Amino acid sequence: MAKRLKNDMDRVEGVEGVLYRVLETLPIEVLNQMRASPKDDAIPEITMAELTAADGVLFGFPMRYGSM
């Protein structure tokens, strides 16, 4: 989902889409019990400096069983 949104943003003149992920806060044991998808190490974690330097932010939230 995020990669598709980035591709759509990149098609707009003067816009550069950049993907970041936020720091995971759940312990690995909990993530394993949830059968959470593995993180994509190719997408870096965002820092506060990068977040505040952005001209705009688009958040995407995957849904699980109809709730975020």
Indicate the domain borders of the chain: 2-53
For the segment 49-68, the average pLDDT, to the nearest whole number, is 80
CA-CA distance, 1 to 34, in Å (whole number)?
20
**Number of neighbouring beta carbons within 10 Å of residue 39:** 11
What pLDDT, in 10s, does the model give residues 19-49?
Answer: 998 889 999 999 999 998 888 899 999 999 9
Tokens of 34: 């949830």
